[in-house]
Structure 1
Amino acid sequence: MSVRDLSPFFAPKSIAVVGAGERATSSGGAIMQLLRQAGYGGRVVPVNPKGGAIFGYEAVTSIAAIDPPVDLAVIVIRPDAILDAAGEAADRGIRNLLILPGGFAEAGPVGVQRN
């Protein structure tokens, strides 16, 4: 694999944030804010089942609705939904995933058991 092959992951031209939201305290909200604050110039696709606008970007309600596929999907959803989301991304042709799970030890006793 060449360095060029890794560019969609390390220098993506388009990013989907699965679990995006406008709450600054949520992982999805923080990622959306950071992309805006950093001046990311590529296409940003928030994915949230409620749809609507998230930090000025029009959200889609599912990974399947991302059109065309993005270079990178950042997945920030509850642990029990991650495998399904990864499968949906693969089915959609999204080849690069950054999974930032929450809900483990930092979430308390239930999260400790998940660890």
Structure 2
Amino acid sequence: MKAIACATLLTTAVMFGHSAQAQDVAAGERSFNKCRACHQLGETAKNGVGPVLNGLFGRHSGSIEGYSYSNANKNSGITWDDAVFAEYIKDPRAKIPGTKMVFAGIKNEKEIADLTAYLKQFGKDGKKM
């Protein structure tokens, strides 16, 4: 009986926890407006104040051709994934001391998850996957 109650509780927690963490791509696109002044996405994206963000996840930091990265960024050894990006976007200068990125950060976990979902839509070629 105790095992059934524990299993039910665990299943319920997983179900509700998962739905509470559901990512909202439209909200992520709105969040990207904070990034848009410096970064571009899509098939016609070009480097600007910041590098193009197409194909960000799985890419090594400091690796977009034609963008002049700080040495700190080039030498960070980072490969972008969900966890690294979440830590970085909260406080870029804490994650990569010496980065050129001047951004106060996004602290809200849900907003970070939504932004991540939005960014993940764009492959290296800028096409939505």
Structure with bigger strand share is: 1
Structure with bigger helix share is: 2
Which has the higher Rg, Structure 1 or Structure 2? 2
Per chain length, whose mean CA-contact separation is higher, i.e. which structure has more relative contact order (CA < 8 Å, sep 6+)? 2
TM-score (norm 1): 0.31
